[in-house]
Structures are given as structure tokens and as C-alpha cells.
Structure 1
Amino acid sequence: MSPRLTTRFWIDAYLARLRLADIAAFVVAHGDDTAGAVLVKLATLDGQAQLFQRSFDLTSGARVWVTLTKGGERDVDAAIQRQRGFDPDLWVIEVEDRQGRSLLDQDGLSA
């Protein structure tokens, strides 16, 4: 069994990858450094947004990013607040990119 990366390590690597691609990103909520769950909000700066959450694919056992909700940015923000009410250790990363790039589908981030 391989050691798990801490959430903080993954967050730092993700933010660095976004910076290298000239994509703005901010930590909106700082969760548990070791094992906090992560939500990624992708705002396309036109009033729309999408919220991603890491989940397990039951058929393959892989960890995958799924869309928790999408639509108007206010609605997505409300969904984030509900999730934070359930999980105080939750990380929230806000990514802002007019082209809709989150990089979550890239190697090293997708699984």
C-alpha cells in the first residue's frame, strides 16, 4: 500500500500547476491539512460556475472528479455553503478562467 498524499500537499501542487498555466486560483476555505475533502469551484467570469468534488468510481475503484452542481455562480456558492455546513474540514478552491479550464482532467490531478 502506498502512502497517501496529504490534502495540503495536493492543494499546493494544484495551485502551482494552475499558476504555471496562468489560471487564477484562490483558497476560499482552508480545511484539514491532512485529510480534508476538496471542492473546486470553476468560475468562468460570466456569472456561471461549476463545482467539482472528488468521488470514488464504484466500478473501477478510482478516485475521480465529478460535477456536484453547475449553473449561476450564486447557486454554486450556496451549494458550497451547504457543503461547508456538513463538513468544517472542507477545502474550497476557486478557479477563475474564462476558457473554463480547471486542469482537473490532467495527469496527476485527475486521479
Structure 2
Amino acid sequence: MRVTSDFWCSAYIRRCHGAGLYALVRRKGEATAGAIFIVVDRLDRQALLLGPGPQGGTADNERVFTVILGPAPEAEIEERLARELRFDPDIWVLAVEDAAGRHLLDLV
């Protein structure tokens, strides 16, 4: 059984803080099953946008992520997020700041 989006986001932010990364919730989405997007700000006006990866690909039903865009200028990331919000207003948007672009997630 997959954990709810709000629980996953809270745990992820705590994990980031524990690793010395600054992370926060930019936008709360639907608490139980909202899609989660993560903006990784590299502090050089470039960012990565991570979003939901293919579902069902893991045996334990973990959330998986993929790079949707980036590294790209922050304006391009914001434009893409605006499109995602128009498509699905229930998304979560988290932000992580790290000059090395660390996000602590395994990507597919």
C-alpha cells in the first residue's frame, strides 16, 4: 500500500533537512493521491524539475521520479509547472535548494 502524498512530502522534507538540504512545500495538493513535483534549485539560475515516473515499476509500490526538465533556466521550469497545474490542479510542488543539485531520490 502506498503512503499518502502529504505523508510522503513531509517525510521527504525531513529527510532533506537531515542531509543538510533546504527543502519546503511550495504548493500543497490533494492530500491522499496528488502527484508530486520537485523543483531542485541549483542556486545558479538553473533548476531541475522532477515529476512522477512510471507507476507499477517497483515491487513495493514506491513512488518513483524522473527528470521532466533540466537543467534549465528557472523561467522554463515555472512555465512547465504552470502547464502541469492547468492539467491537474491537485499537484504538490516541493522545492529543494542545493548548489550541487542533490535531491536524495533515485530516478528512473
Q: TM-score range by the shorter chain?
A: 0.7 to 0.9
Structure 1 position 44 matched with structure 2 position 39:
no
Question: How far did 1:64 drift?
Answer: 2.9
Question: What amino acid maps onto 1:85 in structure 2?
Answer: R
With the length of structure 2 as denominator, give the TM-score of the two structures: 0.88
Whole-angstrom distance in 1 between the partners of 2:2 and 2:77? 29
Root mean square deviation of aligned Cα: 1.7
Residues 46-98 of structure 1: CA distance to partner in whole angstroms, max 9, x if unpaired? 000010112216xx723531111111011111111110111111000011101
Report runs of 4+ in structure 1 exceeding 3 Å deviation.
Answer: none
SS of aligned partner of 1:40: strand
Q: Aligned to 1:56, what secondary structure does the other structure show?
A: coil
What runs of 5+ residues in structure 2 fail to find an aligned partner? Answer: none
In the alignment, the residues of structure 2 paired with residue 69 and residue 45 of structure 1 have an alpha-carbon distance, to the nearest angstrom, of: 16
Which residue of structure 1 aligns with residue 57 of structure 2?
61
Q: Distance in 2 between matches of 1:52 and 1:26?
A: 15
Distance across 1 between alignment mates of 2:64 and 2:6: 18
Unpaired stretches in structure 1, ≥5 consecutive residues? none
> What residue number does 1:93 align with?
94
Q: Secondary structure at the match of 2:10?
A: helix
Task: Report sequence identity in percent.
Answer: 38
| Shift, 1:22, TM fit | 1.2
TM-score normalised per structure 1: 0.85
- State how many pairs are aligned: 103
